[in-house]
Structure 1
């Protein structure tokens, strides 16, 4: 093929109104995917609930699938006779690879691995025939390995221009062979298309890295505003925000159980006075980490807050008081089995609790909160290391 013919083919395929439309739609889809991913990741970071994180990843994967379906529908509409065109293939690859960059979840990786099979099957369905099956299988395996490698070394790949370039070459090159096995083009032409794809994705990387930096900046700001610097759990400011959400949601759905547990560390002042404030900080971190980790493993959706000093609050959504007591008791029992090892000291830590379920008679949030606080006071008055549930104080071993 002469050079002028090659240039003419590229101009026809990449510089026409249909290609411009597909490119603009691709950019729009990428923008929407970015906004959705940022919103979901921030929400998952705030809630720190495994169930919501899994749901968020499902939504991200669904947005990628929907984007691919929309691209296909648009291409069918504007160019029904050329569904395997390079402009359509480039748009597909761009969306797939962008999703791999920005959506850090297993479902998106699986979609990327399965897409070659779908593409090859689509080619056979459209009458292209099952050509070069061995080439397709080898390239699909290589592409899958590349995706798995990227998922495990994301930061190093995105942080290095040369590794990023290598990823583009392997990802785009394997896809080129997969597409070529169904929709064969002249070798020189496909190499030029691959180069165009790499340049295009390099531009995408420019925006991805800056979007990632912006998201990181907002995440760090969110951490400083909503999370306690010493213990790493949610702080008083975040509690003030969440409490209003919880109370308003309950007023709309009064049949949904919501329970609050408040606890503080028994004789905490003694730790500071006897062993020093560094030891007191170590005790606070130990208790906060223990409860945060244990609540994360539970399916009770408990959210932990450091209310102030040695006082903490847990809000259980959809959980009645008795079930919350069972969860709290199990976590408390495990806490007592552990000791805080600090500067050669093995310190035993106990906590006291007040637990109450939100009631229809609670006109304001303070009605509920004050009742829980009073129950905590009853536990301490009864000798500490106690749990008071709805006014009944339990002596624990």
Structure 2
């Protein structure tokens, strides 16, 4: 088939173009987010998503309008621009302060050579209101039964109002107005369905990633997550001499708990201990990492901590767990822990060397009476 025979409706082409632009956004954003996570950069992912979304869509809107600036058909790409607005306002839920809107709108109107038209000012005010209402609808109805209905109840009338301003400005026929409005409604429905599908896939991948890196019983991160994190932190220590300390503890006589009270009671003990430890960590420093690395064995990593600097948190955890009573199945189980602590040193050639030294300190505590801390 030759190009001269390849005749496709402009509407069909537009559908694939819009979906392609949205797909490119998700692909590039996911790449950016993965790059940030791989380098352990302390950047809020929501902030990155919002900033990248605004920049991406502004480039798209300005870029697509560039070819028709100042022409009698300058309205032709408005549906694409409205889809970009809806994507940012509803699906990305980007909140833009009102004082940012006006300079953006002003720059666009100068760029589009429309600043002298009263219809353009009416269109701009309607557009700002549309964005604001879409934000509200997203927050209130996004996860409810009638989310699609509320989305369309805002998108359809606002789309009509925005196209009315364009009809008044460019004086095209009512048939063209109706056609473009209907196209916009179809685009809105397709966008909703497509983003919902992508979001579902993203949520599924997130759940699978969470299962791969977290212990299902205690909800703490697991040995796989520990391995990945300690590898990165040990490299930082080796290259930049950033201090790195670790605490390892396990529950004393845990086998006796399982044998005496049953495995369900043992599970309850593990869950309660994990909750207490995480609470202490959160109250001190959320950069401290907590992992369940074995049956009743847990590791806590202290990035950028010298061993002396870990004392406060370690003793708070030790005091919080020892003599802790866990009530389950009508029974009250008293528990204690043994602890080993150490700091990475030059003799450690790998994370395994570091781990083994902390492990030896833990077993020193267990061999010498349990319920104590060995620091070396």
TM superposition score category, shorter chain reference: 0.7 to 0.9
Q: CA deviation at 1:373?
A: 0.6
Cα separation, partners in 2 of 1:350 and 1:114, compared to 1, 3 Å: farther
Cα distance in 2 for residues equivalent to 1:203 and 1:348: 58
Separation in structure 2 between the aligned mates of residue 238 and residue 310 of structure 1, nearest angstrom: 17
Q: Identify the match of residue 245 of structure 1 among 229, 232, 236.
A: 232
Asked if the contact 1:272/1:279 (under 8 Å) is kept, the reply is yes
2:158 pairs with 1:174: yes
Aligned twin of 2:95: 110
1:127–1:137 CA distance, 2 compared to 1 (3 A) = closer
| 8 Å CA contact 1:355, 1:388 repeated in 2 | yes
Aligned to 2:242: 256
1:202 to 179, 189, 199: 189
Contact residue 324 and residue 336 of structure 2 kept, 8 A: no
> CA 1:221/1:98 → structure 2, altered by over 3 Å: closer, same or farther?
same
Instruction: Write out per-residue CA displacement over residues 187-230 of structure 1, whole angstroms, 9 at most, x where no aligned residue.
Output: 76545433312211222233223222322332333233322222
Cα distance, 1:43 vs. partner? 8.9
Instruction: Sort the Cα spacing of 1:274 and 1:133 in 2 relative to 1 into closer, same or farther, 3 A.
Output: same
Residue range with higher mean Cα deviation, 227-236 or 32-41: 32-41
Gaps of 5+ in 2: 1-7
1:197 is paired with a residue whose SS is helix
Q: Is residue 247–residue 301 contact of structure 2 (8 Å, CA) maintained in 1?
A: yes
Q: Which runs of 5+ in 1 are unaligned?
A: 1-15, 391-397
Deviation by residue 1:79-133 (Cα, 9 ceiling, x = unmatched): 3326994454433332343345554xxxx43139777645654576542466698
Q: 1:74 to 1:64 in 2, by over 3 A?
A: same
Asked whether 1:274 is paired with 2:274, we answer: no
Q: Distance in 2 between matches of 1:197 and 1:35?
A: 24
Partner of 2:217, secondary structure, is coil
Is the counterpart of residue 310 in structure 1 residue 296 in structure 2? yes
Corresponding pairs, count: 364
Q: Could you tell me whether the CA contact under 8 Å between 2:29 and 2:52 is conserved in 1?
A: no
TM-score by length of 2: 0.77
Contact 1:76 1:83 in 2 (8 A): no
* Structure 1 Cα separation of the partners of residues 69 and 121 of structure 2: 26
Quick one: structure 1 residues 29 and 197, their matched pair in 2 at CA, closer, same or farther if it must change by over 3 Å?
A: same
Q: Which position in structure 2 is the counterpart of 1:295? A: 281
**Cα pair 2:19 2:191 within 8 Å, conserved:** no
Paired residue for 2:204, among 185, 199, 217? 217
The correspondence of residues 340-359 of structure 1 with structure 2, limited to 5 A, is: 340-359=326-345
> Are 2:322 and 2:371, in contact at CA under 8 Å, matched by a contact in 1?
no
Residue of structure 1 equivalent to 2:27: 35
- The answer (yes or no) to whether the contact 1:257–1:357 under 8 Å persists in 2 is yes
Question: Residues 19-57 of structure 1: CA distance to partner in whole angstroms, max 9, x if unpaired?
Answer: 99998775454223313554677899999xxx9786211
Q: Is residue 22–residue 71 contact of structure 1 (8 Å, CA) maintained in 2?
A: no
Match of 2:143 among 155, 172, 175: 155
368-377 or 183-192, larger mean C-alpha shift: 183-192
RMSD in angstroms over aligned alpha carbons?
A: 4.2
* Distance in structure 1 (CA, Å) of the matches to 2:272 and 2:288: 18
Is residue 2:304 matched to residue 1:324? no
